[in-house]
Amino acid sequence: MDIDFKEYQLRCQLRGHEDDVRGICVCGNAGIATSSRDRTVRLWSLDPSDERRYSESKILLGHTSFVGPLVWISPNEEYPDGGIVSGGMDTMVLVWDLKTGEKVQTLRGHQLQVTGLALDNGDIVSSSVDCTLRRWRKGQSLESWEAHKAPIQAVVKLPSGELVTGSSDTTLKLWRGSTCTHTFVGHTDTVRGLAVMSGLGILSASHDGSIRLWALSGEVLMEMVGHTSIVYSVDSHVSGLIVSSSEDCFAKIWKDGVCVQSIEHPGCVWDAKFLENGDIATACSDGVVRIWTVNQDKIADALEVELYFSQIAQHKISRKRVGGLKLEELPGLEALQIPGTSDGQTKVVREGDNGVAYAWNIREQKWDKIGEVVDGPDGGMKRPVLDGNEYDHVFDVDIGDGEPIRKLPYNRSDNPYDAADKWLLKENLPLSYREQVVAFILQNTGQKDFTLDPSFRDPYTGSSAYVPGQSSNKSASAKPTFKHVPKKGMLVFDVAQFDGILKKITEFNNNLLSDQEKKNLSLNEVEVSRLVAIVKILKDTSHYHSSKFAEVDIAMLLRLLKSWPVAMLFPVIDTLRMIVLHPDGATVLLQHAEAQNDFLLEMIKRVATNPSLPANLLTSVRVVTNLFKNSCYYNWLQKHRSEILDVYSSCSSSPNKNLQLSYATLILNYAVLLIEKKDQEGQSQVLSAALQIAEEENLEVDAKFRVLVAIGSLMLEGLVKKIAIDFDVENIAKISKASKETKIAEVGVDIELLTRQS
């Protein structure tokens, strides 16, 4: 420990966010702004009644998905109390006036999640997963350019005026205007966070677990290694101290390249920032912002400190495993009231903070205590680390044949057959080595009495695991198998209440007839009879191969679509929904869609008019979804992808369950199409939309299932797996796995398995 370094201690805890706190922005004397997965930005100001504390002063509502990067606009004529710029998963950049707490600008242009923000002489510069940087001036997009070939994760402005970006391509780039003047190469994984180190250069935080200090020439001045997982952020102070935050639940403080303090948190630490006075603010996945100080006069009171340590203890308990099980999931002592079924049967129960094993004594009909289970990982013991992850064992494996030594990680809670399969696939080794690898694991972990769970199914081949002494399945494929992905084929909405549709159109037509100003918009008796004829054709599905629509009938419907009041459109749109499923109807409508006045685009724009009506949104999104049945529409759907997804993006947060399901089906169909077309840009946009929907809390079950299948399919067969992993798809998989709905849990397992594949 550096004798000149004073350790940081807890100053206060800021509670208010309802989900992970993702970002922190220091707002001069105004306080601190924080962003969260709960879709809010919150401003915290010093509490006048207690100078140690901050209190929530404003909640900024406007984003439709989780919020990430923030930047502070210092007070000026336009913003006398200062402003905040925020970026979100919803692809938007929002500008807020802190005097009123109101949103004053909505900047639209990015196709995917906004990941970084910087101010440049009054301009706003934003980075995104769509690989672009955008410059905004006075609410308008001034310029945009592709800065990397992979998602950009961060952007920062240097005192000299240049910009620096960090990307999933593992590099940093230095920009003068829109010209790249230098590329920094050295990290081995995604560059996630950037910060300026005054007078020295640029700091970078990476998924490879390291922090680097770079001179602007590209020379690495310092590398700091100590985190055991992804490093999300880095910041520096004029004192020369550096702070970093990580998935490993620690914020680390560095001095002269050496870690001088590690501050444990009860969850992932998404961000850490220095305040001007040298205090540190940290953002944690438990929804709490914490302030840390070296000022003895501002240290939290004993009760607050005790609460913090109890949170740490509870977090450790939630992660502790005994006998391969989570401690918190073990039954209590009441489980011993149930008699055993065979002599020597063992049961592990929770006693306090430990797991204790008991054996059934059939003669005396009681449970005999064996002792505390100690074979599970102990949070206090030093465990080997590989690729930033801790394991019970990391073995050196020499497979011979002149091959290099390989590292084999293993946890005692793993099934050895499962572990062997995954390792062989990761190392690109033949599955014929499987028997030797399993034997090696069992021998070196002392699991001589290991018994295979007969219900175990190999996640890669779908077959039962190999058991020594039994005949093996030589035909087992090494290709992974999944329960619900990839999705093949398109889903459509092909059920209609035709009598109800006719009744509603007739009702609306009568209303127009009785209105002298709108009478000219109504249908005459002949046209009403033609409408009945259209429905008759649609009902007779057995003759779809031969029945035809009259051109005049289609023209009549399109006239209604264009001329009738918006509130009366939905039964007309619903009729078109069924016509596009008819072979001849689809062909005739396509000709109109390809004409100068594209009726489909006009329909979409009309229904999106504020305030949009749920009935119009529902029927029109189903029309677009049904277009996927006919390959003749694929080019049109691909061409207008962005417009379509933008119009219907609000559907996921609608309380209307049918609207949620329809939009989710549209997303799934787009995923299938864009995988087939190998359209990476399109896949990225659809993935972003799907991830945003998956974050919704009150989502209809089938809607959630369909977007999860879309995510899994895009990861498995698309070109965007790395983007999904970079943007927390593992958390979505974890939440889904815990669902009470079987199919949600199953597709959650599919996605989790995909994240673990190399």
pLDDT tens profile 357-412: 788 888 888 888 777 765 443 444 456 666 656 677 887 775 554 556 678 888 87
Q: What is the pLDDT of residue 544?
A: 87
- Whether residue 460 has pLDDT greater than 60: no
Task: Let me know: does 756 contact 480? Beta carbons within 8 Å.
Answer: no
Q: Which two tokens stand for residue 96?
A: 């807020």
Rg (alpha carbons) of the chain, rounded to whole number = 30
Q: How far apart are CA 658 and CA 618, in angstroms?
A: 7
At 614 the three-state DSSP class reads helix
Show Cβ contacts of residue 177 under 8 Å, excluding neighbours closer than 6 positions.
Answer: none
- Whether residue 473 has pLDDT greater than 50: no
> Element (H or E) spanning 660, and its range?
helix 657-676
| pLDDT mean over 288-315 | 92
Q: How far apart are CA 750 and CA 711, in angstroms?
A: 10
Q: What is the pLDDT of residue 469?
A: 37
Q: How far apart are CA 250 and CA 8, in angstroms?
A: 13
Q: How far apart are CA 386 and CA 379, in angstroms?
A: 17
Instruction: Grade residue 108 by pLDDT with cuts at 50, 70 and 90.
Output: very high
CB burial readout 575-587, b (16+ within 10 A) else e = bbbbbbbbebbbe
3-state helix, strand, coil in the chain (%, to 5): 35, 30, 40
Any idea what DSSP says for residue 644? H
DSSP for 111-157, please give it.
Answer: SS-EEEEEEETTEEEEEETTSEEEEEETTEEEEEEE--SS-EEEEEE
> Element (H or E) spanning 674, and its range?
helix 657-676
CB burial readout 178-190, b (16+ within 10 A) else e = eeeeeebebbebb
Q: How far apart are CA 562 and CA 549, in angstroms?
A: 20
Angle at 642 between CA 641 and CA 648, to 5 degrees: 90
Q: What is the pLDDT of residue 373?
A: 67
Range among 282-291, 508-517, 696-705 with highest mean pLDDT value = 282-291
At 705 the three-state DSSP class reads helix
Amino acid at 361: N
**Residue 155 bridge partners (DSSP):** 165
Q: What is the pLDDT of residue 466?
A: 36
**Residue 326 bridge partners (DSSP):** 321
Q: Which domains does the chain have, with CATH numbers?
A: 21-146 (2.130.10.10), 396-448 (3.10.20.870), 482-638 (1.25.10.10), 650-757 (1.25.10.10)
Q: How far apart are CA 308 and CA 417, in angstroms?
A: 41
Q: How far apart are CA 124 and CA 347, in angstroms?
A: 61
Range with lowest mean pLDDT among 269-278, 285-294, 321-330, 452-461: 452-461
Q: How far apart are CA 365 and CA 707, in angstroms?
A: 52
pLDDT tens profile 138-196: 999 999 999 999 899 999 999 999 999 999 999 999 999 999 999 999 999 899 999 99
Q: How far apart are CA 98 and CA 291, in angstroms?
A: 22
Q: Which two tokens stand for residue 237?
A: 């102070």
Q: Which long-range contacts (CB under 8 A, 24 or more apart) does 353-357 make?
A: 353/317, 353/320, 353/327, 354/322, 354/327, 355/322, 355/323, 355/325, 355/327, 355/330, 357/323
- Whether residue 287 has pLDDT greater than 90: yes
Q: How many CA atoms lie within 13 A of 232 on its CB side?
A: 27
Looking at every residue in the chain, the average pLDDT score rounds to 86
- Whether residue 206 has pLDDT greater than 80: yes
pLDDT tens profile 584-638: 999 989 888 887 778 888 898 888 876 788 899 999 999 999 999 999 999 999 9
Compute the residue count for the chain: 758
At 28 the three-state DSSP class reads helix
Q: How many CA atoms lie within 13 A of 491 on its CB side?
A: 21
Q: How far apart are CA 453 and CA 464, in angstroms?
A: 10
CA 363 from chain centre, in angstroms, equals 55
What crossing angle do the helices spanning 599-607 and 614-626 adopt, rounded to 10°?
Answer: 150
Question: Which of residues 177 and 314 earns the better pLDDT score?
Answer: 177
